[in-house]
Every structure is written in structure tokens, then in C-alpha cells.
A and B are shown apart, each in its own frame.
Chain A
Amino acid sequence: MYDHLVFIQQQLKQRQIEPALQQFYRIELPVGTSHHQFYAYNELMFLTNAGAIPPGTLIHSDSKARRIPMDIQSLEGIDDYSGTVSIEFPFPLEVETTVEFIQIVTK
């Protein structure tokens, strides 16, 4: 199993980013949500539970955009988003969904 925390630490080192804080950041989205937007300036948000998000969902930010693929359950990679982050679901949510990130606040 790929160690996400090791991956994040390596990414920060390679990109010469010094973290001021690392913590979990969870967004609880109620039934019927089709779009959610939040701000993550001077932060990196690593999405940790892409498998819980409906395939076809578009997550885009200033630095990265990703559409959740059908085979997300078989994938190991995690992406980071920063700036204005938007989550657009392909249809309004039918169940309450929590989107979880590892939030890195940069110095």
C-alpha cells in the first residue's frame, strides 16, 4: 500500500515548500449538493478519499484539475489543489458525502 504521508512529505521537500501546519480538513456536503467551492490560498489540499466521491465529479483549482474516473477505487495517487477549489458533481448528491483532504498550510 502506498504511504500517502510519505508521498506528501516528499512532494513538499521536492517543491521546497515548508509547512506551517498539517491537518485533516473535512467538508460535509448535504443531499442535493451539486457544487461546492472553497478557498485554499497559501495552502495545499491533498484529496484523500476520492473513492467516496461519485465518478465524473470535476475538482478544479488554480493549480490542478481532475475528473474522478470510473476506476478510482483501483488508483493509489493523490492530487493536491490550491487557490479557489471547486467541486462539481455530475448530478445532485443522493447521500450525504464527506470530502476529506490533508490540508498543508504553507509558511
Chain B
Amino acid sequence: MTRIRYHIIQLEVTDAGQVVEIRHRLPSNYGRCTGYIARHVKGISSDVDIPEIGLVAIEFNSRKQLNINDLVGYETQVDQLPDYQELNIPLESGQLVTGYYLDTQKSPDPFDTTKEWFRPYQVAIYLKCEIENKKRHVRSSCIHSATVEAAAN
């Protein structure tokens, strides 16, 4: 039986042009990563959509596989979550997910070099992962009662 788990990596961008490092450990029982979404969640307010506010790169299995290079944009109205981008990455247990987010926003005024237009914001990376249940987990209380019963007999 395969179960789906969703994992969120939150990133805070506090400066214009900032590089935010991603260094994250997924739970060790995740067996495969099958999809992702990278999107702005909070902070930017604009009347129009911005096709690119930053770049994201993600490597899996402690830098053994570079699998995601994508643009992150801003949408004024989000009616529903976008579909997950497909991945198919077997995960090695306990390994790191690494990478970076680079803010690439441009000033609305090309002659403004003060960066006062910039407002901190948050980006979230949603990972869709699978857990394969190979063994049936038995609660320790069940084992205890069975042992007691066996001893009594």
C-alpha cells in the first residue's frame, strides 16, 4: 500500500537579490518524491501578475541528483492551487534536500537604486512524496498483552 504525504519547505526572503539556501531533511520513511509546487505565499502585493520573482533549484539525495530548476512567479488572484509538477525521484533514507532560492525581482523604477521598493516575502515549496508500507506496524501494547497471555498459558 502506498500513502501520499505532502511536505512544505518555507523560505523567507528578506533582501532584494538575496540567495536563500535550502538545506532540508525529509522524513526517512519517504520512499519517492512524485511532484512539487514552488509558489509565493505571503508578502508581495501587486495589482498585476509578475511572471518571475525568483529562481529555485533543488537537489535530492544529498546533492546526487539535481532535479528542479524553475521560475517562481506572483499571481494576483489564486483561485486554486496549481497542479503539481511531475517528478519521479527515489529517495534515499535520511538524505538532504538542498538547493537555493534566488530573488530576481526588478525595481519598478529602473533608476531607483535604493531598494526601498522591496518588501520581505515568503515562498513555499510543496513536495508530494510517497511512503511505501512494506511492514505492518504492531503497537507495543499489543505485543505486551500477547506476551503476557503466552506467559500465563
A63-B64 contact given A58-B17, A58-B19, CB 8 Å threshold: no
Task: Give CA–CA (A58, B55) in the complex, Å.
Answer: 14
Contact assessment for A66 and B69 in the assembled complex, using a CB-CB cutoff below 8 Å: no
Contact assessment for A65 and B57 in the assembled complex, using a CB-CB cutoff below 8 Å: yes
B23 smallest CB distance to A (angstroms): 12
Q: Is A26 an interface residue (CB 8 A)?
A: no
B129 smallest CB distance to A (angstroms): 22
Residues of B within 8 A of A15 (CB): 62-64
A67-B66 contact given A60-B102, A62-B57, CB 8 Å threshold: no
Number of residues of chain B lying within 8 A (CB) of chain A: 14
Task: Give CA–CA (A14, B63) in the complex, Å.
Answer: 9
Residue of A nearest to B68 (CB): A62
Contact assessment for A60 and B62 in the assembled complex, using a CB-CB cutoff below 8 Å: no
B107 smallest CB distance to A (angstroms): 15
Contact assessment for A16 and B57 in the assembled complex, using a CB-CB cutoff below 8 Å: no
B136 smallest CB distance to A (angstroms): 33
A102 smallest CB distance to B (angstroms): 17
Residues of B within 8 A of A82 (CB): 66
The one of B17, B63, B69 that contacts A62, using a Cβ cutoff of 8 Å? B69
Q: Is A64 an interface residue (CB 8 A)?
A: yes
Q: Is B75 an interface residue (CB 8 A)?
A: no
Task: Give CA–CA (A65, B19) in the complex, Å.
Answer: 7
Contact assessment for A14 and B62 in the assembled complex, using a CB-CB cutoff below 8 Å: yes
Contact assessment for A62 and B62 in the assembled complex, using a CB-CB cutoff below 8 Å: no
Contact assessment for B19 and A60 in the assembled complex, using a CB-CB cutoff below 8 Å: yes
From residue 77 to 119 of chain B, which have CB atoms closer than 8 A to chain A?
A: 99-100, 102
Residues of B within 8 A of A65 (CB): 19, 55, 57, 100, 102
B24 smallest CB distance to A (angstroms): 16
**A-binding residues in B (CB < 8 A):** 17-19, 55, 57, 59, 62-64, 66, 69, 99-100, 102
**B-binding residues in A (CB < 8 A):** 14-16, 58, 60, 62-67, 82-83
